[in-house]
Chains A and B, each alone.
Chain A
Amino acid sequence: MKKTNPDLSVRIGLLRLQNPVLTASGTFGYGQEYAGLVDLNRLGGIIVKGLSLNPRPGNMPPRTVETPCGLLNAIGLQNVGVENFIADKLPFLRKLSVPVIVNILGQDIKEYRKLAERLSNVEGIAALEVNISCPNVKKGGVVFGTDYKAAARVTRAVRAAVRLPIIIKLSPNVTDIVSIARAVEEAGADAVSLINTLTGMAIDVEARRPKLHNVTGGLSGPAIKPVALRMVWQVAGAVNIPVIGCGGIMTAADALEFLLAGASAVQVGTANFVNPRATMEIISGIEEYLARHDLKDIKSLVGSLIL
């Protein structure tokens, strides 16, 4: 009997992905940076570097420090701004056959709304990911992600501005992530993604100075995976919208942990730096796992953790 390949496709609300592997915002540039190393059309989707209304220069260097099994960064959302993105970056992305998800960030709710409105009818954008969780900027970012009322307000503003699916990216730097997830679900989010980086710090003991110019930064990589997995599991059990898992996913086994915990899709971030082909290997590994367990469909795996 001929064996059919397992079906890796997933739905995030109205958004259909050929497989559950997305690139995390800020770790994949605008796609083109990886074009020589990765078959971009094999990805589940690309989430581009976070965009603000106007170009942002970002923080002063040093911006990154490696810590055991982790990466601390304080880039400060350097980006080309929405107009340059549409003019210079989107034409390349439009040629791809995978969904392009644009991550957006505002300094206040008005900016989130303006950004969403500007992107609402632009060709070649499949969804918006709303960043309310960047720990490295003073205005915006995590300010909205740590208060459930503010998170809901941002969600409602973006919801009212676009028909595109909206994914709210949540911060782990909170006491109760479930209440924030529930608030954005109620406010009209199509999905939530979690987690963004955990606020951290590193010190040069000889110089007695912080290693990052910004003093604190966001920790990513394998070091944060257990925290991310726990939060995904908690949120997936508490909301009815899809959850996208993110945090330290390096291998297919890591991605499968998130799917079992209840994530419908995953984002691969820091792994792209370590192994540019990580996403490709993760997709193949998930496929191989499904075949080995005789599962026809990835949906049967999502949230199937046995307690």
Chain B
Amino acid sequence: MEQGTATVLENRLAAPGVYRLRIEAPALAGAAGPGQFLMLRIGQTLDPLLRRPFSIHAVHGSRTVDILYRVVGKGTNILTTLRSGEGLDIVGPLGCGFSWREESPSLLVAGGMGIAPLFFLAQIIAKNGVGDKTSALIGARNKTELLCVEELKAMGLQVQVTTEDGSAGKRGLVTGLLTNRVAALRPVIYSCGPYPMLHAVASLAMQYGLSCQVSLESFMACGLGACLGCVAEMKNGDLVRVCKEGPVFDAYEVAWK
């Protein structure tokens, strides 16, 4: 974990309302694992005040890191104005990411922006030469919001898509595709997306007795484990820090509601 200045290389629209920010950050690129995140200082003023957490979306070579973000509010709106060459204050890599197990087939399940951290995991899997033994299910509201599909295919992954409006792939939720997959493959599931989707993925995984890791989202003030603001409830009743003990949790440990 370090605090440092990264340089913006590119900040480009990847889909309607979604940007890919490419930064030069050697310390981060060298140390980051899939599922980890960074805290990014947005602007120089006191409003917005807090840093914003972003998943590490991709690492290229030893110096370059991508962040994929959707414009949702004041902070991300300011982020879109960043231009190549500008400096960015970042802290990272932070948190506990996915622990990938090569011996089992992997199934990546992403809903919407959930692809953000899973893409980095796919990169690691492809680098280990088992991209073609790995499946990814990508869900979005409509065709234009489907992200990274072609890149994942190019990495050798077997990709299936669903859209809620049926404009691409199968109509419906990503969990609709999941049932067939889990019964046949008995994979380890790695998932990120909206909470109801993660809940459904976790329920199915538990029904089949499959290992399942989920990346949770939470408001974070510090990202360092100090403020205790981002907690999630576990089945044993503990409120644990998403930033420190997570953001990736064993689906069996989360108190789903």
Contact = CB atoms under 8 A, between A and B. Distances in A.
Contacts of B219: 61-66
Give chain A's interface residue range (CB within 8 Å of chain B).
35 or more
Contacts of A275: 41, 89
B103 interface: no
Shortest Cβ-Cβ A-B pairs, 8 listed: A64-B229, A29-B226, A273-B222, A33-B226, A69-B46, A273-B221, A222-B46, A33-B225
B3 A75 contact: no
B231 A27 contact: no
Interface string B44-84: 00111111000000000000000000000000000000000
A276 B228 contact: no
A78 B227 contact: no
A303 B233 CA distance: 47
Given A58-B231, A273-B51, A274-B41, A73 B2 contact: no
B224 A64 contact: no
A51 to B, nearest CB: 13
B1 interface: yes
Contacts of B174: none
Contacts of A66: 48-50, 219, 221
A250 B227 CA distance: 17
Interface of A: 26-29, 33-34, 36-37, 49, 57-58, 60-66, 68-71, 73, 75, 78, 221-222, 250, 270, 272-277
B132 to A, nearest CB: 39
B239 interface: yes
A71 B228 contact: no
A190 B255 CA distance: 45
Given A64-B227, A277-B3, 4 more contacts: A61-B231, A63-B228, A272-B222, A276-B91
B104 interface: no
Contacts of B222: 27, 33, 272-273
A75 B227 CA distance: 8
Q: Tell me which of A63, A68, A73, A222 has the highest count of chain B C-beta atoms within 10 A of its own C-beta.
A: A63
Nearest to A221: B49
Interface string B99-112: 00000000000000
B228 A274 contact: no
